[in-house]
Structure 1
């Protein structure tokens, strides 16, 4: 069987792969993008039906193409996927869909890598893993299968009608968990929400969306403050035109908040006694951003309307002052547990020296110590903004420029 040869192979045609293709094309780097599904597949098939982008359209986009419609709208997931397809067409991205990559290995005695795919073998000088962070759904092994409740990951949730009758426990209070929990509550379900440590920014303040505030306050370039803090969840929503997440308000409307999910024993699930502490931490994060915003307005003399009511927190609720430390699932009528507990990475198919002992990519702004291997689409790849669509675009430019610089070095020959 013949071996296809390409200069740079990009694996994954989500937002990272599409952005990477644009920048490689601008640098005149021959490349190919492989995608096991469709372009932006995860936006289509691994999100719930009512999901919208967490940032407004004017901000959560690539710089060279606007979303159609209102710039302040929060775009539904299908239109986000359509946007990436249109962007790929705009730059004539060489994307090959329906191809699964099964192995990446370094070639012996010469530069480059051998890539085995479901459509044959490819050799490439560079490989960009643009598969993103949503690779393997993480369901903690807490509740056994014989517990008699249906368990699913948030990536498999679509809408309330999908679930059998009964109460629902949602574990995880980041953007996905809290939006799913509120949707289920609005559909008339009894909902328990397990809340861990989180950041809780205002959706908007003094007439500006929080993404604008993070920009002018210089927070998009921020780095994790300590090991592990890069995984702290952020509770923010673009649903219903965008709203600030207030867990106490949700509790006042009927949602039962509990602390971090602990152990399961004989039909009962225990919870840590940390609910009030987690909510207080989220409130402190929220109020600190308001303080910084007010200081910025005063320092720069901006004419932005004051908003004192934004500092009013939700009411005291019984589930916080007298938190549940244990829940009898059957007794409470819980028939479904939704694990909004994120994802783990799976790079077992990349047989290269680019990972630490835990299997996590080693890189500096996407550039691996394994020459010719790059990563793109990971949270905090270069900073806080890397998790957003526009941030991925800028990360891709850095990686593409690095590939071109290395190519120029290799092309150098001393003059006679």
Structure 2
């Protein structure tokens, strides 16, 4: 790809610096270039690094190709409803940066940010960069989150989803997957398909059907205007909730806990700790299953209400077999001995957090997310893109990153020309 190698000395000053060459950073760079703003994109690894290094081999986007609305992006293939595999998507980002001639410098790690007269200095592995505008596009999902205070029993290997690649990587034996969000349910399904015995410690996560009334869930979210719902009009619990369970693998599938149970995955409640080498779980599996069912039902109700008076748009009410209820709820023990169950691996699917240690402490909230209002931070000239719910529901996904990137680029041009 057409990036500048890190051994060359950078200019001492550039009007704007974008930190991070993921989708949000590249989209911001695209808009800055079109606005004629001189800038550089600093990336410590390679373009789309997190997508390369923190996703398993069979990972597939859960969003259809048409929803990757980065400015100027041309998605591959003839099927806009296809779900892109990891490597295809990474290649797409590489080509996007190259074809647009974006000024990406790879292999440059940003180590700190400090103010100077008229702007900021970025300390980096390549030296100091002096600038008037900084865009934080280093990603909300970079570092592994692991529950505090849980001691892994002796003889059990612990792996986080960011380091998981394929079933063969794990030691022989059963796998306890902790967390039933998108990563947890997808990996549990993959491990089961590979012939592994899988135990899934569930969590309070919603579910949506992959398709309903002849359309993909993302098509409905678009038609209903839900992807464009502004942050101000969304309740706090919606902004805090994890993404609902869903899969783009095998052409796109509904991931329902009841189907995983029918397939033979052992469902458990939330992991609460380890005592005397035994794993303990909350008695909340039934609550998690009911909550996921209720979430899916609310979505279907919203679609049905939208279709009232629009008979031409209403496809048949197609029941998804994966969502069929079980004859009886699984008997979920609240304590197990990993040796008795043959558990050799605990696979943490407990989320990720941003890598923002290079930012001043006063700019970060307790979770490491930069403090901002609609992408504008308390530090003049420092902007944020690519984080969830920045301005609207889709701020943190490919559908909406480009919108926030455009706003950031316009603010920077206005500041630099004022």
Q: TM-score scaled by structure 2?
A: 0.92
Which residue is equivalent to 2:346?
337
Which residue is equivalent to 1:366?
375
Which of 50, 54, 58 lines up with 1:50 in the alignment? 58
CA contact (8 A) 1:247 1:279 kept: yes
Which of 101, 111, 124 lines up with 1:92 in the alignment? 101
Which of 4, 13, 19 lines up with 1:11 in the alignment? 19
SS at match of 1:22: helix
Which residue is equivalent to 2:403?
394
Which residue is equivalent to 1:29?
37
Question: CA separation of 1:357/1:245 partners in 2, compared to 1, >3 Å: closer, same or farther?
Answer: closer
SS at match of 2:123: strand
Does 1:292 pair with 2:302? Answer: yes
Which residue is equivalent to 2:166?
159
Matching of residues 60-75 of structure 1 within 5 Å: 60-69=68-77, 70-75=79-84
Q: Which runs of 5+ in 2 are unaligned?
A: 1-8
Which residue is equivalent to 1:273?
283
Matching of residues 299-338 of structure 1 within 5 Å: 299-310=309-320, 313-316=323-326, 320-338=329-347
Q: Where has structure 1 moved over 4 Å in runs of 4 or more?
A: none
Which residue is equivalent to 1:124?
131
Which residue is equivalent to 1:412?
none
Aligned partners of 2:359, 2:63: CA distance in 1, in Å? 33
Aligned partners of 1:32, 1:313: CA distance in 2, in Å? 48
Q: Deviations over 1:260-304 (max 9, x none)?
A: 110101111111111111111111110111111122222323243
The worse-fitting range, judged by mean Cα deviation, of 192-201 and 294-303 is 294-303
Does 1:196 pair with 2:203? Answer: yes
Aligned partners of 2:268, 2:68: CA distance in 1, in Å? 32
Question: CA separation of 1:272/1:358 partners in 2, compared to 1, >3 Å: closer, same or farther?
Answer: same
Aligned partners of 2:191, 2:152: CA distance in 1, in Å? 23
Q: Deviations over 1:168-202 (max 9, x none)?
A: 00111111111000000011111011111112111
Which residue is equivalent to 1:179?
186
Aligned partners of 1:180, 1:112: CA distance in 2, in Å? 45
Which residue is equivalent to 1:38?
46
Aligned partners of 1:159, 1:148: CA distance in 2, in Å? 21
CA contact (8 A) 1:48 1:157 kept: yes
How many residues are matched? 406
Shift of the alpha carbon at 1:60?
A: 2.7
Aligned partners of 2:371, 2:103: CA distance in 1, in Å? 28
SS at match of 1:147: coil
Which of 130, 133, 147 lines up with 1:140 in the alignment? 147
Q: Deviations over 1:208-241 (max 9, x none)?
A: 1111111111111233522584242420110100
CA contact (8 A) 1:3 1:120 kept: no
Aligned partners of 1:74, 1:43: CA distance in 2, in Å? 15
Q: Deviations over 1:369-399 (max 9, x none)?
A: 1101111111112221122213111110111
Q: Which runs of 5+ in 1 are unaligned?
A: 410-416
Aligned partners of 1:84, 1:138: CA distance in 2, in Å? 26
Question: CA separation of 1:3/1:311 partners in 2, compared to 1, >3 Å: closer, same or farther?
Answer: closer
SS at match of 1:155: helix
Aligned partners of 1:294, 1:358: CA distance in 2, in Å? 38
Does 1:209 pair with 2:219? Answer: no
